[in-house]
Amino acid sequence: VLIKVVSYCLLGDTDIACGIFKANQKYFSLLSEEYAYIISHTEYWASRALISENNPLEAKIMLKALLKKKKGEFSLNSRVRKILSEL
């Protein structure tokens, strides 16, 4: 899911990226903590897609939730804060 969301975002097909994310989001809660990195990065890219699709409110909610998550090896906090400051 992460690879597809990122790929479609980079191709400019953010509507497809949002669709893939929303179709699979319900399964994220079923994954163990080992996948927290992948889930966080998928949510980060999905929020960028949402912004491109003129849905900044939903993106803002997702980004704020990302800041509250447990920090892993590769934290997205600085990137998330930058995007939130631009919204």
pLDDT value for 74: 64
Tell me, what DSSP letter sits at residue 23?
A: H
pLDDT value for 34: 85
Low-confidence ranges of the chain (pLDDT < 50): none
pLDDT value for 4: 96
Q: What angle do CA 73, 78, 83 make, to 5 degrees?
A: 130
What does the CA dihedral 45, 48, 53, 59 come to, rounded to 10 degrees?
100
42, two tokens: 């998928």
* Contact in structure between 53 and 74 (CB atoms under 8 Å): no
pLDDT value for 6: 96
